[in-house]
Chains A and B, each alone.
Chain A
Amino acid sequence: MAVLIGPETKVLCQGMTGRTATFHCGRMLSYGTQLVAGVVPGKGGNRHLDLPVYNHVREAIDATGANATIVFVPPNNAAAAIIEAIEAELPLIVCVTERIPILDMVRVRQALIGTQTRLIGPNSQGILAPGVTQLGVMSTVDASPGRIGIASRSASLTSEIVLQTTQAGLGQSTTIGVGGDPVHGVDLKTCVKLFLDDPDTDGVIVIGEIGGTEEEEAAELISELKPTKPIVALVAGRHAPPERRMGHAGAFASSSGGGTALSKIAALQSAGVVVAPNAATVGETMRKTLAV
């Protein structure tokens, strides 16, 4: 089975009547996702894609029993939409929207404190449980049901690694895109924990990249837990030209330091993670690691 989502997941779509949302809701429906309603303020009472549309998240939950939402609301109102879903106590929110102002996300993080809600994204391709359900905008053509969990900071790279794990005959239990924005919900560390606890996941792939310290934090968790499940990681950007730094503050802000590809790779390796040499060999590395 999958983590975070499953056949019982009933999904709302906030911002459903927009062009992009309409397209992807159609895809999700045809993939078998239980999309039950849309939420679009001012359009309550209409039907869209032959589903009811409500003005408010609360109203939609009461009418449909939804337990998750996918947010396609444009950046200027996306944070408000997420906060509405948090206040309605939905356990799972996936936000696809790109370019949400960072301080809005700081407010969202504030709203998440003390709640049971898990936020995936923003700027995430979503969650895919191949053959089961899809809450997201990712391509599904190369995905196949299997037992590898993939947690990723990059949508396009996930697509590549999904293809590789399918070709290696492994398939995927769930893929999670944590989102590309600096401030977001669920992080890599949390995804790793979910996969380690999932009896239907045999191996975990972490797709990281330069910037931030999520890979280091995941490494820290892994060295604490000392899991028996194999974990393979990729860190993209080993050869990227160093980012132009503006001030010194960035070096002081995070307690764990790091942020470079080298520090991430070193942290992951010392935690016992197998770091794939490059993006083309991740599936193969996982196959070999599992075979040992």
Chain B
Amino acid sequence: MNLLEFQAKRLLGRFAIATPIGQVAASESEAFEAARRLGCDRYAVKAQVPLLARMKYNGIAFASTPEQVRAQARSMIGKALRIGEPHSIGDIVQQVLVEERIESLREMYVAITLDRSAGKLVMLASAVGGEAIEERAAAEPGLIHRLELTLENNKAVADFHSLASIIADTPEVVTGLANLYRDLADAAVAYEATLIEINPLALTKDGRLIALDVKISADDSALYRRPELAALRQENDRIVCSPTELEAQRFQINYVPLDGDVGVVVNGAGLALATYDLIVDAGGQPANFMDIRTTATSLDIAHGFGMLLTNSQVKSILVNVHGGGMQRCDTIAEGIGIALRRHPRQIPIVICMAGNNADFARTILENNGTRYVAVSDMADAAQQAVALSRRKAA
């Protein structure tokens, strides 16, 4: 789960990490009011979307009066930051964060992330920060310093201190940084974060360290024991998920809407990726990425399949299923049958089934009178589905 900036800043505040004073606003008048209440000399207005490089996409603007804040909020709210890739409604700005613009003496970088291969959390720190950090690090090896973390009674302060002394030179700043690093490590464990990134981390003229932008990704699998994060997840889903995606979640289906016209139903993410590749190779474009979880029942599957049947953008449907031990083909065949009874629609369906209970599944399809093109080879299945989507379109 990716948190929005204002949520991430709120969470870090509890670990004594300073962020600029600010308030989130959902309309231009709220933004104006927020600015008036804050009473700063200079403001930053920041689009609350989970997107990298917001500066580049005009998602961050500056203002010096509440009136200007209102104008900036108006230019952002309700608009998509990124044009040309409407895959996610999360790109449409629904809220802006109005906060004090901090004058920084120096901008630094610090993050904690998961090193998958090492199976560890690592801290990455740099004396420079900002959106261009990646390009700079690529050109200048050694810019990023790395410290492996342990989970229990995190590192001794001394470790953070030696990291901090590479980054800063004056003793006060080193101490401040070391404390911030330690607090950040505690926060990462407490929020089960797979990423916490402060970029930039500002050092102000009066020697304060302030997190100007914060990104947090929390582990979805740990939400069951972090009720506070689970609540944020719900708040976020309403902001960044389309109603279709939310509906899919309720029915044990991983669903990502895409631009194409071939509806895709698979079980398993790897098979989904491979099927996607075959469809594109065959000259088509998937209308979605739909992965049935192993625990989905036939009714769940019926809901998922129904979403494709009721989507007029979908011109043909490809079902590519490998019955494993957990999800058997017959459950999926039943789900398809139920969906077709609920939403009768003349649409070409190509089905490729193998594995557990594949024959049983074919019998069910036959008993239900499901009309479909049966294929046994997934490349053939993809080609047929793409050809059929074309024929309808013409």
Using CB atoms and an 8 Å cutoff, list the residues of chain A in contact with chain B. Answer: 20, 24, 27, 75-76, 98-107, 109-110, 125, 136-139, 141-142, 152-157, 159-160, 163, 180, 182-183, 187, 207, 209-210, 212-214, 217, 234, 236-241, 244-254, 278-281
- Residues of the B chain whose Cβ atoms lie less than 8 Å from the Cβ of A137: 324-326
* Contact A155 B324, CB 8 Å, known A109-B119, A239-B276, A250-B113: yes
Q: Could you list some 11 contacts between A and B, CB below 8 A?
A: A103-B121, A139-B322, A139-B356, A154-B271, A154-B274, A155-B324, A247-B197, A248-B134, A248-B199, A278-B281, A279-B274
Kindly state the separation between the CA atoms of A52 and B109 in the bound complex, as whole angstroms. 56
Contacts of A153 in B (CB 8 A): 270
Cβ-defined contact, A246 with B150, below 8 A: no
Q: Contacts of A180 on B, CB cut-off 8 Å?
A: 269-270
Within 8 Å CB of B120, what residues of A? Answer: 106, 109
Closest to A185 in B: B119
Which among B51, B215, B271, B281 is the interface contact of A160 at CB below 8 angstroms?
B271
Q: Is the Cβ of A102 less than 8 Å from the Cβ of B277?
A: no
A280 pairs with B111, CB closer than 8 A: no
- Contact status of A102 and B271, CB under 8 A, knowing A155-B324, A212-B116, A247-B199: no
Q: Are B151 and A106 in contact (CB under 8 A)?
A: yes
Nearest-neighbour CB distance to chain B for A101, whole angstroms, equals 4
Residues of the B chain whose Cβ atoms lie less than 8 Å from the Cβ of A152: 270
CA distance A98 to B224 in the complex (A): 14
Question: Which of A76, A180, A236 has the most B CB atoms < 10 Å from its CB?
Answer: A236
Given contacts A137-B324, A251-B134, contact A279 B50 (CB under 8 A): no
A157-B274 in contact (CB<8A): yes
On whether the beta carbons of B50 and A244 are closer than 8 Å, the reply is yes
Distance (Å) between the CB of B170 and the closest chain A CB?
26
Given contacts A157-B270, A160-B378, A212-B117, contact A246 B215 (CB under 8 A): yes
B124: contacting residue among A102, A213, A238, A253, CB under 8 A: A253
* A209 contacts B273, C-beta separation under 8 Å: yes
Contacts of A248 in B (CB 8 A): 52, 109, 111, 133-134, 137, 197, 199
Taking a contact as CB atoms closer than 8 A, the residue among B150, B224, B377 that contacts A110 in the complex is: B150
A103 to chain B, nearest CB (A): 5
A279 adjacent to B115 (CB under 8 Å): no
Select from chain B the residue with minimum beta-carbon distance to A109. B119
Bound CA span A280–B380, Å: 9
B297 close to chain A: CB less than 8 A: no
Q: Is B106 an interface residue (CB 8 A)?
A: no
Question: For B354, what are the chain A residues with a Cβ–Cβ distance below 8 Å?
Answer: 142, 159-160, 163
For B322, list chain A residues within 8 Å (CB).
139, 156-157, 159-160, 163
B273 touches A138 (CB 8 A): no
Q: Evaluate contact between A101 and B377: CB separation under 8 angstroms.
A: no
Q: At the interface, yes or no: B94 with Cβ under 8 Å from chain A?
A: no
Give Cα distance in the complex from A107 to B219, angstroms.
15
B166 interfacial contact with A, CB 8 Å: no
Most buried by A among B117, B121, B215: B117
- The interface residues of chain A lying within 8 Å CB-to-CB of B122 are 253
Which residue of A76, A141, A245 contacts B52 across the interface (Cβ within 8 Å)? A245
Of B50, B195, B294, B324, the contact of A249 (CB 8 Å cutoff): B195
Give the docked Cα–Cα distance between A207 and B270 (Å).
Answer: 9
B379 close to chain A: CB less than 8 A:
yes
Alpha-carbon gap, A281 to B354, bound state (A):
16
Chain A residue nearest to B381 (CB atoms) is A280
- Of all chain B residues, the one with the shortest Cβ separation from A23 is B325
Contact of B323 with A by CB under 8 A: yes
Kindly provide the distance from the CB of B129 to the nearest chain A CB, expressed in whole angstroms: 10
List A contacts of B355 (CB < 8 A). 139, 141-142, 159, 163
Q: How far is the CA of A280 from the CA of B195 in the complex (A)?
A: 36
Residues of A within 8 A of B153 (CB): none
Please state if A279 and B111 are interface contacts (CB–CB under 8 Å). no
Bound complex: CA of A108 vs CA of B73, how far in Å? 47
Given known A24-B325, A246-B217, A252-B111, contact A239–B277 (CB-CB < 8 A)? yes
B37 in the interface (beta carbon within 8 A): no
A163: chain B residues within 8 A (beta carbon): 322, 354-355
Whether B215 and A217, one on each chain, are in contact in the complex, defined by CB atoms closer than 8 angstroms, is no
Closest to B85 in A: A241
Q: Is B87 on the interface with A (CB-CB < 8 A)?
A: yes
- Closest residue of chain A to B281 (Cβ to Cβ) is A278
Minimum Cβ distance to chain B for residue A37 (Å)? 21
Residues of B within 8 A of A254 (CB): 115-117
Q: Are B277 and A236 in contact (CB under 8 A)?
A: yes
Asked whether B114 lies within 8 Å of A102 as measured between CB atoms, the reply is yes
Contacts of B278 in A (CB 8 A): 278-280
A101 touches B326 (CB 8 A): no
Contact B323 A139 (CB under 8 A): yes
A238 to B379, CA, bound (A): 15
Cα separation A187 to B117 with both chains bound (whole Å): 9
- Residue numbers in B under 8 Å from A141 (CB-CB): 355-356, 358
Distance of A247 Cα from B358 Cα, bound (Å): 43
Query: Do A246 and B324 have beta carbons less than 8 Å apart?
Result: no
- Residues in chain B near residue A105, CB distance under 8 A: 119
Distance A98 CA – B124 CA, assembled complex (angstroms): 29
What's the nearest-Cβ distance from chain A to residue B276, in Å? Answer: 6
- Complex Cα–Cα for A100 and B356 (A): 26
A192 to chain B, nearest CB (A): 15
With known contacts A102-B192, A253-B114, A279-B278, A139–B221 Cβ distance under 8 A = no
* A136 CB to nearest chain B CB (Å): 7
Chain A contacts of B222 at CB under 8 A?
Answer: 101-104
> Which residues of B lie under 8 Å from residue A182 when comparing CB positions?
114, 116, 194
**Bound CA–CA A166/B215 (angstroms):** 47
**What A residues does B280 contact at CB under 8 A?**
238-239
Complex interface: chain B residues within 8 A of A159 (CB) = 322-324, 354-355
B88 located at the interface, meaning its Cβ lies under 8 Å from any Cβ of chain A in the complex: yes
**Bound: A239/B150 CA distance, A:** 37
Q: Chain B contacts of A142 at CB under 8 A?
A: 354-355
Residues of A within 8 A of B268 (CB): 154-157
B116-A154 in contact (CB<8A): no
Q: Let me know if B2 is at the binding interface, CB within 8 A.
A: yes
Q: Which residues of A contact B258 (CB under 8 A)?
A: 241
Which residue of chain B has the shortest Cβ distance to A102 in the bound complex? Answer: B219
